[in-house]
Every structure is written in structure tokens, then in C-alpha cells.
């Protein structure tokens, strides 16, 4: 049998090498001076997994804002949570004072007080996100919750039984990490996920988590897991639709025209984000478009124009292949004549002008006319009383 691959944590010299190779580490060290500072959370997890990332989460046992100022760059302080974000040369530093949290009621935002690093790790969501590496001392893995073992076995595990009661959005995060890393959710954690009550959380917070899930390459697996737990109700056929929309969004003519994350989110929830977006059954409208089979380009344009890109890509993924031609050709067809030409030819101001132009455009779309003179003739005929 093959011995398990050596983890960087087994070899202090290797761990030091890896930490030193993280872009930005040297700068934070210099800026921190004697302050005790630690890499925490996602950056430690991803270091162990050999995954690169462009942001650095740092916990300070002391004043995070002072550290942000010393780092330079653009610092935005968030008083309430004693955190600061600094962007420097394309790197993002998330600096936070070590803190403990308590929850006035389930789902509420936490009350925060300064704390030790160990208390800070104990408030985190999953063991794989609750590890730290000191930067002010010799690097070693601080892993009070067994995160390293869970990384090795591929498990998502909460730190305590009340985790999803305190913050139900963590159950949504569990599905996201499980999808991202193809990890299994530990059975105890899965039981808690199935019992999670999202009703204590605002729709905006739920949506923010679902949008993060929608940005994952394996979003479908995550949404299906949430569906199995009863935390989201995926519309019929949504799994295939998520994959189809994600694939379409990466290729012409849809790439660059629609936001892939919003499209996947819509495939999973049927809606756009935001209070107004949530009111509208976008998937229902997309199904209506997909159910129609326009026989002429002008019918296609009538169906598709004025609709948002997300609705259209959903309809395309549901089978409306003609929408590719709408995107590449038909939606750009315009007339050479304008309303001014009709007025100049004696058409009275009013609905007749619009009706004339609309008829000319229809005929042009359907390939029945092409010249300017023909456009004018058709428009004048249609505008005649």
C-alpha cells in the first residue's frame, strides 16, 4: 500500500517554505512588528490543499486597524467587527482582531468582543476553516478542532452542535465547501443541516450565500445537496439546467453577454437576486419562451426582445436554440429609415408612425425586403389609414 502523501505540517521546514512563498506574507510580517499575527481560515486550508488564492486572512491579537494603517494601501475599517480590508498591488488582506462572538438569538448578527486566537478559531464554521499558522513565530499548524484530519479524509464538520442554530447560513456554506472540494459532509453535521431553520435569517443573507454557491464550478452538486436537506426547493429539472446554463455562459454568443453566476443562481432558484428580482418568476417566463416555436425571425424577435439576458439564456438552455441566432443576428437588425422619413412623407404624428416602422422591420427580418426604398414603401403602406 502507498504511504499517505506527506502533509506540509509534518515537516516544519516545508511549512515555512510554503508560508514564505505566499504573496504578501512578508509585507504583513514587516508591518506587524512585534504584534502576534496569524494566517487563518481559508488561506491555511488552501495552503494545505496546495490551492492558490489571491486574498490573505490575517488575525491579530491586537489592533487590526493599526496594522492596516502600517500596511498602507487602501484600508476600510469596520468598527463593529474590528476588521479592516487592505488592497495592495492586486492582493487583498483581510485583517481582523481576534474575536469571540455571541448570538442574541438564532440567526442574528453576532455580538463581538476581543478574544484570544483560540477563541477566534472556536467561533468558526468548520474544522477545515478553523486552523491558523503564526507569522510572528516559527510557522506551525494550530489546529484545535481536527481540521487537518478532516482535510485528509475529505470531511466538512461543524465545531459544535449549536453551530447551525447560531448561524443557519453555515448550513449553506457546508454545501458550498462540500461541492467545491468534493468532500462529504460528516454525518453528525449533515443531521444538523437537515434540522436547520433558515427562517431566522434575512432573505438577503441567504441569497448572498446562494450566489457564492452559484459561483462554484460544481454548483449543481451544492444546490442538490441543499435540496436534499430541505433548505432550498429546486425547481423540477433544475440540476440539468444549472449545468446547461453554466456551459452556455462560457461560449459564444452568450459569453460576455450574461453573468454566469446570476444565470446559475436563476437556474437554481428561478429568480434574480434582490427584493424586486425575487418577485418575478423568471424561470416561468423562460419556460414560456422555450415552449414557443417561432416560425419566422420576426416572431422570434417579438418573443425575445426586451427580455433580460438571464431569462434568455435560461430559455436557450431549456431548448430554444433559435435564441443563438437572435443573439448573433436578429436583435441587431435595424431599419435605414426613421420616423422622420415617414413624417416627411406626410404620415401624421402618432401611432401610425410606429406601426409603419414595425411592419417594415418585420418584413426586413423575414428577408422580404432589404433596400431603403422598400422599407419606406412598406412603412408608408402600413401607416396608411
Task: List contacts with ligand ATP (CB under 6 A).
Answer: 41-42, 57, 124-125, 129, 167, 169-170
Q: How far is the CB of 101 from ligand ATP (least distance, A)?
A: 8
* Shortest separation between residue 41's beta carbon and ligand ATP, angstroms: 3
Closest CB to ligand ATP among 106 and 339?
A: 106
> Smallest distance from the beta carbon of 197 to ligand ATP, in angstroms?
15
Residue with cell 436554440: 321
Q: Minimum distance from CB of 55 to ligand ATP (Å)?
A: 7
Q: Provide the 8-state DSSP code for 327.
A: H
With respect to ligand ATP, which residue has the nearer C-beta, 93 or 322?
Answer: 93
Task: Using the minimum distance from each CB to ligand ATP, give the nearer residue, 167 or 224.
Answer: 167
Q: Which is nearer to ligand ATP, 42 or 253 (CB)?
A: 42
When CB distances to ligand ATP are compared, the closest residue is: 42
In degrees, rounded to 5, the angle at the alpha carbon of residue 365 between the alpha carbons of residues 363 and 369 is: 45
The pair phi, psi for residue 42, each rounded to 5°, is -55, -35
Cα 112 from Cα 317, distance rounded (Å): 45
Minimum CB separation of residue 170 from ligand ATP in Å reads: 5
SS3 272: coil
Which is closer to ligand ATP, CB of 177 or CB of 254?
177
Smallest gap, in angstroms, from Cβ of residue 256 to ligand ATP?
A: 25
CB of 57 to ligand ATP, least distance (A): 5
Distance from first CA to last CA of the chain, Å, rounded? 89
Q: How far apart are CA 320 and CA 308, in angstroms?
A: 15
Cβ closest to ligand ATP, residue 158 vs residue 376 = 158
Q: Nearest approach, Cβ of 161 to ligand ATP (angstroms)?
A: 15
Q: How far, rounded to the nearest angstrom, does the alpha carbon of residue 252 sit from its chain's CA centroid?
A: 21
Q: Which is nearer to ligand ATP, 59 or 361 (CB)?
A: 59
Cβ contacts of 256-260, under 8 Å, gap ≥ 24? 257/309, 257/313, 257/327, 258/309, 258/310, 258/312, 258/313, 259/309, 259/310
What lies within 8 Å, CB to CB, of 278 at 6+ separation is 203, 207, 271, 272
Find all residues with CB under 8 Å of 207, minimum gap 6, and list them: 273, 274, 278
Q: What SS3 state is found at 242?
A: helix
Collapsed DSSP state (helix, strand, coil) of residue 317: helix
Closer by beta carbon to ligand ATP, 41 or else 273: 41
Amino acid at each position: 500500500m502507498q504511504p499517505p502523501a506527506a502533509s506540509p505540517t509534518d515537516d516544519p521546514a516545508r511549512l515555512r517554505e510554503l508560508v514564505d512563498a505566499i504573496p504578501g506574507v512578508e509585507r504583513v510580517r514587516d508591518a506587524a512588528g512585534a504584534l502576534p499575527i496569524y494566517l487563518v481560515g481559508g488561506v491555511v486550508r488552501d495552503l494545505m490543499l496546495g490551492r492558490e488564492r489571491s486574498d490573505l486572512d490575517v488575525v491579530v491579537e491586537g489592533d487590526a486597524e493599526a496594522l492596516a494603517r502600517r500596511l498602507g494601501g487602501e484600508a476600510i475599517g469596520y468598527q463593529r467587527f474590528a476588521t479592516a480590508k487592505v488592497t495592495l498591488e492586486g492582493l487583498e488582506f483581510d485583517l481582523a482582531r481576534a474575536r469571540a462572538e455571541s448570538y442574541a438569538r438564532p440567526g442574528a448578527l453576532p455580538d463581538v468582543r476581543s478574544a484570544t486566537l483560540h477563541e477566534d478559531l472556536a467561533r468558526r464554521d468548520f474544522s477545515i476553516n478553523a486552523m491558523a499558522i503564526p507569522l510572528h513565530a516559527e510557522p506551525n499548524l494550530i489546529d484545535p478542532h481536527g481540521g487537518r484530519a478532516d482535510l485528509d479524509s475529505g470531511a466538512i464538520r461543524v465545531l459544535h452542535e449549536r453551530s447551525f442554530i447560531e448561524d443557519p447560513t453555515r448550513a449553506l456554506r457546508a454545501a458550498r465547501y462540500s461541492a467545491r472540494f468534493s468532500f462529504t459532509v460528516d454525518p453528525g453535521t449533515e443531521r444538523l443541516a437537515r434540522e436547520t431553520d433558515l427562517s431566522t435569517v434575512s432573505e438577503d443573507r441567504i441569497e448572498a450565500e446562494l450566489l457564492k454557491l452559484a459561483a462554484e464550478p460544481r454548483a449543481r452538486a451544492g444546490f442538490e445537496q441543499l435540496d436534499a436537506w430541505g433548505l432550498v426547493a429546486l425547481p423540477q429539472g433544475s440540476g440539468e439546467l444549472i449545468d446547461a446554463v453554466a456551459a452556455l455562459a462560457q461560449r459564444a454568443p452568450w459569453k460576455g453577454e450574461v453573468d454566469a453566476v446570476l444565470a446559475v443562481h436563476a437556474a437554481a432558484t428561478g429568480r434574480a437576486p434582490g427584493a424586486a428580482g425575487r418577485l418575478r418568476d423568471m424561470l416561468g417566463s423562460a419556460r414560456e419562451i422555450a415552449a414557443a416555436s417561432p416560425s419566422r425571425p420576426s416572431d422570434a424577435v417579438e418573443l425575445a426582445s426586451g427580455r433580460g439576458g438571464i431569462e434568455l439564456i435560461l430559455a436557450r438552455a431549456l431548448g430554444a436554440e433559435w435564441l443563438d441566432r437572435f443573439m448573433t443576428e436578429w436583435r441587431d437588425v435595424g431599419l435605414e429609415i426613421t420616423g422622420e422619413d415617414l413624417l416627411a412623407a406626410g404620415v401624421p404624428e402618432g401611432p401610425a408612425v410606429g406601426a409603419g416602422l414595425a411592419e417594415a422591420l418585420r418584413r426586413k427580418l423575414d428577408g422580404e425586403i432589404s433596400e431603403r426604398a422598400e422599407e419606406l414603401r412598406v412603412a408608408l403602406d402600413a401607416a396608411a389609414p
